[in-house]
Amino acid sequence: MQRSFTILYTSLLGLCLGSSSSFPSNINIGGLFPIESHEYEVFRFALSHHQDIPKLVPQVDMVKMGNSFSMTYAFCSQFSKGVYAIIGLYDRKTVNMLMSFCGALHVCFVTPSFPIETANQFVIQLRPELQDALVGVIDHYGWTKFVYMYSSDSGLSVLQKVLDTAAERNWLVTSVNVETMTEASFLKVFQDLDKRKEGQIIIDCETERLTGILKKIVEQGKNAKSYHYILANLGFLDIDLTDLRKGGANITGFQLVNHSEPGVSRVAHQWMEFDNKDSKVPKSGLKYTGALTYDGVKVMYTAFQNLRKQRIDISRRGNAGECLANPPAPWGQGIDIQRALQQVRIDGLTGHIQFNEKGRRTNYTVSVMELAPSGPKKVGYWNEDEKYVTTASFVRGSNETYGLQNRTYIVTTILESPYVMLKKNHEQLAGNDKYEGYIVELAAEIAKHVGYQYKLKVVSDGKYGARDPETKMWNGMVGELVYGKADVAVAPLTITLVREEVIDFSKPFMSLGISIMIKKPTKSKPGVFSFLDPLAYEIWMCIVFAYIGVSVVLFLVSRFSPYEWHAEDYDEGGEPQTPTQASGTNGMQQSQTQTQQNANQQSPEQTNEFGIFNSLWFSLGAFMQQGCDISPRSLSGRIVGGVWWFFTLIIISSYTANLAAFLTVERMVSPIESAEDLAKQTEIAYGTLDAGSTKEFFRRSKIAVFEKMWSYMKAADPSVFVKTTDEGVMRVRKSKGKYAYLLESTMNEYIEQRKPCDTMKVGGNLDSKGYGIATPKGSPLRNPVNLAVLKLNEQGLLDKLKNKWWYDKGECGSGGGDSKDKTSALSLSNVAGVFYILIGGLGLAMLVALVEFCYKSRTESRRMKVSTARAAAASAAQAFHCSALDSGASAPYTELQSYGLYANNTVKI
């Protein structure tokens, strides 16, 4: 009996001792982490903070995310080692595999990865679900149309919740998968938003991918004030939002870790001091995924502490089993560990930690953050009971111009005469004093009116700004504004549609258009007969034919009209004789004269003054406005004379009006006069500035002429495009008239006024546009700068500045750049033809007189039957005798009269 009692006591004692000592002092926990991940380093850091009994002993495998085979091998390896639970990460390619193993083998998996919809109770999800908080924020902002950009890496549960809510509330949601998005599709999304004047975008991605998307948004200039982004990510403070803040974009996000809590800040400080010399990853702040990992270790430690207090046997005896066995052999104690994990109630780095029966976080609070001008600010919070609650202590945009006077703004510009030029002694100067020009003074005036300090910075690549068709990146001054390298661009920057999509422009401070620059052709030498230029060749020919025609008509009407015929009375109408002639006549001559007069009285002769020669003489006298000693008597003749006088009045007046201009202006013959002339020929090459608005104008133009010009410029070899305006001007000057440069009219006019004065603007402007001051989208400088430009324009300062730098400092004379011809005094070459005509006319008159003299002498010699030489000598003696009479001398007439050469006979022709 005593022996039996002893055996029973020993057995009970052994049982009691066995139950108290059955809970292991070391708990093997598995770890599945990506290589050199932030979560693994925090896992090590968390284990160092939980060294009490039971001690957590890690069994870690570094896995390659996205590789199902690697994850399967690591999981089975840890299961065979007899781990009690596993903590680690998964992605969309390995989550289903892990869920299957955990459910089949009853192994608990604690994870800080994205939450998923699953009925597997062995998955403990540390990360809270965000979809309800996101819907609450969307309701708060009143969005009804927005773009939802998501990554399938983080699952589709949030997207599904948003789409379901959108169907209930008639929201218009455009979902875009960023994993399949190309550069072109990314740009198209924002182009569609710009067309619809919308800018509401939600981005649901893991932190690494989200950082890349935000960088691309900044590169495309979509970080402007007109855009509002909601980042569906629980680590708002983990993201670098500096570049987005420069553009003034509205950014809203969520923050899980409250760094203002003393416990959190203490752990974060300890984390920064934690020795992680084995890690090759640079030390970074404690991210929210790391905080979730830390809380995961704390949850596991608390669960096993509770199991130990409850003296629940979780020991694994014998073979741990094979994870790939068929059928699977689940671990019996897995249910106890799963229940212990779900029952944990603690406060961790991520707030209150509690799980529901499905292993998901519940009873948690998420902070709602916004990016204020001074940095991230908490504007509210969300929890399951109160939903979204606003706690904003500032109003966005209420003080957007605050601090303009308290910082120095970067003003980007470009070296371009006369806008911005280096002073001659610029090497001895510093800062803004190194520069001079129109833009330099304009920037100073704007800064004075707005009230801010600034620093001029010349754009590094020397370009105005265009988007690369391949990389979609902006260069030049536009790129510096888009990517936050400058605050304002004061330069001859053309306002265009594509630029307006990414930056803001002020009202134009200068109006202009695209013009054509060519080398000034050599001045045409004035011709000998340049006085004929006022009237065209056809007009001169018509005048000659009109002169002949009028003379013939006058001759005919005078012949047919009886009023032009009259009888000639020699007694009254005959030529009077001088006393000398009267006394010198002999009796025979008197007898002949008396006989002739008697005959004339018996049959008077009818005469007509308008013979063909007199008609020509009358017309010529009227045309020359000198008159004539005869005039028409008949009505028909006077009508002819009247219309001829009217005709000559108009012709002479028109000729006189144009004569001064044609004689005093040196004219230049230009090979082209318009863009149409350029397009129709191939001898003269033409091009524009590369990466500028002029090139963009031709590329986008739908006008046939400009399309033809663009096709030529694009295919020209060698290239007709130039990198700088100076290069284009030098090419024009050295091309000997074989290259035309297309540029803004203001620059064309300026260069025309600069030595060596060998370029000129031809034709009118091809378009109409303006220069504006540019600022990034949503910049607080936009409105003040715009008002300053309007004020300067009303004060007339803009015109004053242009006159100062264009014409007052001109080197090629006055004229405002528009005058192509310079007036000067007449030279002999201008009117030499008139003298030639005068000399020719005098010579012709002498020749005709000589012919008449010879003809008359020959005729008289035959009539008087004397030699021609003697008759000519007598005629010459008579000519010089008449000249002597004019001087008061006397000469013998006996010989002349004896031959009867100059008898008092009237000869009618």
Residue range 18-50, pLDDT digits in tens: 444 466 778 888 999 998 888 898 998 888 888
- Supply the pLDDT for residue 835: 56
Residue range 142-172, pLDDT digits in tens: 898 898 988 876 667 788 888 888 899 899 9
Q: Identify the bridge partners of residue 60 per DSSP, sorted by sequence position.
A: 31
Long-range contacts of 835-841 (CB under 8 A, 24+ apart): 836/528
**CA 63 to CA 88: how far, in whole Å?**
10
**CA 538 to CA 542: how far, in whole Å?**
6
Higher model confidence: residue 812 or residue 436? 436
Long-range contacts of 117-124 (CB under 8 A, 24+ apart): 117/157, 118/358, 119/358, 120/359, 121/338, 121/342, 121/357, 121/358, 121/359, 122/334, 122/338, 122/359, 123/98, 123/99, 123/359, 124/296, 124/299, 124/338, 124/341, 124/342, 124/355, 124/359
- Supply the pLDDT for residue 849: 64
Residue 15 has pLDDT above 60, yes or no: no
Read off the pLDDT band of 320 (50, 70, 90): low
Higher model confidence: residue 528 or residue 519? 519
**CA 168 to CA 356: how far, in whole Å?**
27
**CA distance between the termini of the chain:** 194
Residue 802 has pLDDT above 50, yes or no: yes
| Rounded alpha-carbon distances, angstroms, from residue 176 to 159, 182, 837 | 10, 11, 88
Higher model confidence: residue 49 or residue 590? 49
**CA 91 to CA 108: how far, in whole Å?**
17
Q: Quote the distance between the C-alpha of residue 214 and its chain's center.
A: 26
Looking at residue 426, the DSSP 8-state letter turns out to be G
Looking at residue 256, the DSSP 8-state letter turns out to be -
Higher model confidence: residue 377 or residue 559? 377
Read off the pLDDT band of 773 (50, 70, 90): very high
- Supply the pLDDT for residue 909: 34
Span of 41-45, 382-386, 600-604 with lowest mean pLDDT? 600-604
Span of 320-329, 348-357, 473-482 with lowest mean pLDDT? 320-329
Residue 575 has pLDDT above 80, yes or no: no
Q: What are phi and psi of 328, to 5 degrees?
A: -65, 150
- Supply the pLDDT for residue 458: 92
- Supply the pLDDT for residue 106: 87
Burial of 501: CB neighbours in 10 Å, binned 0-12, 13-18, 19+: middle
Residue 59 has pLDDT above 70, yes or no: yes
State the amino acid at position 177 in one-letter form. Answer: N
Nearest to 341 by CA among 389, 296, 308: 296
Contacts of 430 (CB under 8 A, 6+ apart): none
Span of 72-76, 318-322, 440-444 with lowest mean pLDDT? 318-322
Span of 498-502, 510-514, 635-639 with lowest mean pLDDT? 635-639
Looking at residue 425, the DSSP 8-state letter turns out to be T
- Locate 504 and state its tokens: 């803001």
Read off the pLDDT band of 815 (50, 70, 90): very low
- Locate 593 and state its tokens: 């004269």
User: What does the mean pLDDT of the chain come to?
Assistant: 79
Collapse the DSSP code of 638 into the 3-class scheme (helix H, G, I; strand E, B; otherwise coil) and give the result.
helix
- Supply the pLDDT for residue 295: 92
- Tell me the mean pLDDT in the region 505-514: 90
Whole-model pTM: value is 0.51
Residue range 229-259, pLDDT digits in tens: 999 989 998 888 877 777 677 889 999 998 8
Half-sphere exposure of 573 (CA within 13 A, CB side): 12
Pairing of strands 250-255, 346-348: unpaired
- Locate 757 and state its tokens: 């004065």
| Rounded alpha-carbon distances, angstroms, from residue 289 to 37, 41, 111 | 11, 11, 10
State the amino acid at position 481 in one-letter form. Answer: L
Pairing of strands 739-744, 435-436: unpaired
- Tell me the mean pLDDT in the region 337-364: 90
- Supply the pLDDT for residue 330: 78
Higher model confidence: residue 661 or residue 113? 113
Residue 569 has pLDDT above 70, yes or no: no
Residue 578 has pLDDT above 80, yes or no: no
Contacts of 697 (CB under 8 A, 6+ apart): 514, 706, 766, 767
- Supply the pLDDT for residue 88: 92
**CA 638 to CA 795: how far, in whole Å?**
66
Collapse the DSSP code of 799 into the 3-class scheme (helix H, G, I; strand E, B; otherwise coil) and give the result.
helix
Higher model confidence: residue 26 or residue 129? 129
Read off the pLDDT band of 11 (50, 70, 90): very low
- Supply the pLDDT for residue 6: 43
Span of 491-505, 589-603, 883-897 with lowest mean pLDDT? 883-897
Contact 132, 121 (CB under 8 A): no
| Rounded alpha-carbon distances, angstroms, from residue 520 to 254, 677, 808, 814, 857 | 67, 16, 22, 17, 63
- Supply the pLDDT for residue 18: 41
- Supply the pLDDT for residue 545: 87
- Supply the pLDDT for residue 894: 42
Evaluated on CA atoms 459, 460, 464, 468, the torsion sign reads negative
Residue 223 has pLDDT above 60, yes or no: yes
- Supply the pLDDT for residue 830: 53
Long-range contacts of 164-168 (CB under 8 A, 24+ apart): 165/135, 165/138
- Tell me the mean pLDDT in the region 194-218: 83
Nearest to 737 by CA among 720, 771, 760: 760
State the amino acid at position 778 in one-letter form. Answer: G
Collapse the DSSP code of 54 into the 3-class scheme (helix H, G, I; strand E, B; otherwise coil) and give the result.
coil
Q: What are phi and psi of 150, to 5 degrees?
A: -135, 165
Read off the pLDDT band of 190 (50, 70, 90): confident
- Supply the pLDDT for residue 280: 58
Span of 146-150, 285-289, 350-354, 405-409 with lowest mean pLDDT? 405-409
Burial of 506: CB neighbours in 10 Å, binned 0-12, 13-18, 19+: buried
- Supply the pLDDT for residue 744: 86
Most confident of 190-199, 558-567, 757-766, 828-837: 757-766
Read off the pLDDT band of 435 (50, 70, 90): very high
Q: Identify the bridge partners of residue 368 per DSSP, sorted by sequence position.
A: 254, 380
pLDDT above 90 covers a percentage of the chain that reads: 15
Most confident of 4-8, 783-787, 803-807, 883-887: 783-787
- Supply the pLDDT for residue 256: 92
Read off the pLDDT band of 446 (50, 70, 90): very high
Contact 112, 126 (CB under 8 A): yes
Torsion of CA 798, 802, 803, 808, to 10 degrees: 140
Residue 440 has pLDDT above 90, yes or no: yes
Q: Identify the bridge partners of residue 176 per DSSP, sorted by sequence position.
A: 149
